[in-house]
Structure 1
Amino acid sequence: MKRLLLTGAAGGLGSAMRSRLKGLAEVIRVSDIAELGAGAAHEDVMQCDLADRAAVDRLVEGCDGIIHLGGISVEDKFSRIMSANILGLHNLYEAARANGMPRILFASSNHTIGFYRQDEYLDHEMPFRPDGLYGVSKCFGEALARMYFEKFGQETALVRIGSCMEKPKNHRMLSTWMSYDDFLSMIQCIFQVPRLGCPVIWGCSDNDSRWWDNSHVSYLGWRPKDNAERFRAEIDGTVPRPAVDHATAVYQGGPFILDPVFPEE
């Protein structure tokens, strides 16, 4: 691959993956609305507001693949979520359609299904049960990607990221955790497989207590190697366990279940 675009490169997950993507393409184009600092020798730095259609067109031009981590990643006012996660995503897909339809990895979220209980095991065909406006925006994103695939043939991996970070931080994340190494190997598979389609992929490592079934995407060749179980003793010893009837112990969305719907000013 000649040029791979990473949006949201200044965010927590974007920053972690930015340092790991070298070698996946000759040039990594990194972008965010925030300051990104000086680019490495293999990087092409472009600051961009996803809500700016013309800027997004310039951003996507010349790219052979897109890792889309950009947008609002927490619960917020609808106007902010709408600008970044709905309008911004539509701009991205229109730019991709105008520029040869490079394959896209769309960072969806476990918050599309946050109101399922933690004692339920889910496959990719379970109906949406979003736990907030952020989750709703990711449901929209998955639907938009599916429409662009059905209507135009735009391939997208709909990755419902659980908790992608260095290590899990609480008991819920023993089920939802995805290591950086496993995410990187997933990215490699997504952009190397001959035909991708538009699959939902559950973004978690090979955790003993995982809630999600990825058997339908075995054709990708992705085999996560990490397991959150190795952190269980540490978490049991340092993190208080919530009451069994507390939302964070009942629902897959965890604390997002409790977030308020933020009023507009």
Structure 2
Amino acid sequence: MIKVLVTGAAGKIGRNVVATLGCESKYKLKLADINVEGLQEFKELGYEVIKLDVSDLEGCQVVLEGVDVVIHLAGNPSADADFYETLLDGHIKGTYNIFKASKDNHVSRVIVASSAQTIEGYPLDYQVHESSPTRPKNMYGVCKCFVEAVASYFAYEEGVHSVAIRIGAYDDLQPSGPPLSARDMSAYLSPDDFSDLLLKALNTENLPPYKLLHGISNNRFKRLNLDDTKEKIGYRPKSDAFKQSGIQFFDHDK
């Protein structure tokens, strides 16, 4: 079995990851979060649950012993998060610690959560490609640029195979929920599409040492270009936030 560590497992995306990988018999999951109370139900189901502050390098070293793959999601998900209060420890120190511990424990692959906030400074009518220079609009985005850079460094200089996923507006888009803005619809990522993207990021072989993937759904208008992600790992998103929001387009074949 492949032993997978999921950091930030108590978060919204982390819980979806646990549900997705828990259905795959080849994975044995170890769940880590600073909020272990949020993992109680998983502990009752028999999962290995560990309290982890990713800003603690020694703690990361201990948790990564015997781990084959890391899915690193820990950190404050708010674009408005304060740099000194949360981002410095959670995203800067935490990301370095996870990659350093992954190298020291011979982890075969690290999949790390980046964000569409790395390019949020571009005009809203600009579609961003993986090769577009980063252009963050807030310190959260700046920290996610650091995440991508650390992943690239550890891949090419330290031998840690790394995948960074720029996660867009992750949401289950319930009819009773609040409506999304046009920007969020263009960056929308459904839980089902993220599950497909994650599994393919885990299982696709022959990727370069570091690969940047774009994580949005098949929205009618796309903030992030998906051509390279589709080609490299066979990603086939199905959800469309514009369609799910009831917006109709009247197209005519020429």
Q: How far did residue 77 of structure 1 move?
A: 2.3
Q: How far did residue 18 of structure 1 move?
A: 2.2
Q: How far did residue 224 of structure 1 move?
A: 1.1
Aligned to 2:117: 111
Contact 1:157 1:196 in 2 (8 A): no
Q: Deviations over 1:119-174 (max 9, x none)?
A: 11111111111111111110011001111111122122111100112118413222
Aligned to 1:5: 5
Instruction: Write the distance in 2 (CA, Å) between the matches of 1:116 and 1:89.
Output: 25
* Mean CA deviation greater in 124-133 or 69-78: 69-78
Instruction: Write the distance in 1 (CA, Å) between the matches of 2:65 and 2:10.
Output: 21
Contact 2:67 2:107 in 1 (8 A): no
Aligned to 2:251: none
Instruction: Write the distance in 2 (CA, Å) between the matches of 1:2 and 1:121.
Output: 37
Instruction: Write the distance in 2 (CA, Å) between the matches of 1:108 and 1:158.
Output: 6
Instruction: Write the distance in 2 (CA, Å) between the matches of 1:77 and 1:185.
Output: 32
Aligned to 1:140: 146
Matched, 1:170 2:180: yes
Instruction: Write the distance in 2 (CA, Å) between the matches of 1:27 and 1:42.
Output: 11
Contact 2:21 2:27 in 1 (8 A): no
Aligned to 1:66: 70
Give TM-score, length-normalised by structure 2: 0.87
Q: Give secondary structure in 2 for the equivalent of 1:20.
A: helix
Give the alignment partner of residue 212 of structure 1, picking from 191, 211, 224: 224
Please give the root-mean-square deviation of Cα atoms over the aligned residues, in Å: 1.8
Q: Give secondary structure in 1 for the equivalent of 2:224.
A: coil
Matched, 1:87 2:102: no
Instruction: Write the distance in 1 (CA, Å) between the matches of 2:28 and 2:129.
Output: 36
Aligned to 2:83: 78
What 5-or-longer segments of structure 2 have no aligned partner? 249-254
Contact 2:169 2:185 in 1 (8 A): no
Query: Aligned AA for 1:211?
Result: R
Instruction: Write the distance in 1 (CA, Å) between the matches of 2:126 and 2:247.
Output: 25
Aligned to 1:226: 239
Give the alignment partner of residue 56 of structure 2, picking from 52, 63, 75: 52
Q: Do the aligned partners of residues 176 and 43 (structure 1) sit closer, same or farther apart at CA in structure 2, a change above 3 Å counting?
A: same
Point out 4+ residue stretches in structure 1 off by more than 6 angstroms.
none
Contact 2:119 2:128 in 1 (8 A): no
Q: Give secondary structure in 2 for the equivalent of 1:19.
A: helix
Contact 1:86 1:137 in 2 (8 A): yes
Q: How far did residue 43 of structure 1 move?
A: 1.7
Contact 1:27 1:42 in 2 (8 A): no
Q: How far did residue 59 of structure 1 move?
A: 1.4
* Mean CA deviation greater in 73-82 or 155-164: 73-82
Q: Do the aligned partners of residues 50 and 219 (structure 1) sit closer, same or farther apart at CA in structure 2, a change above 3 Å counting?
A: same
Aligned to 1:248: none
Figure out how many residues of one structure are paired with residues of the other and give that number: 235
Aligned to 1:191: 202
Aligned to 2:40: 37
Instruction: Write the distance in 1 (CA, Å) between the matches of 2:28 and 2:48.
Output: 7
Contact 1:207 1:228 in 2 (8 A): yes
Instruction: Write the distance in 2 (CA, Å) between the matches of 1:158 and 1:228.
Output: 23
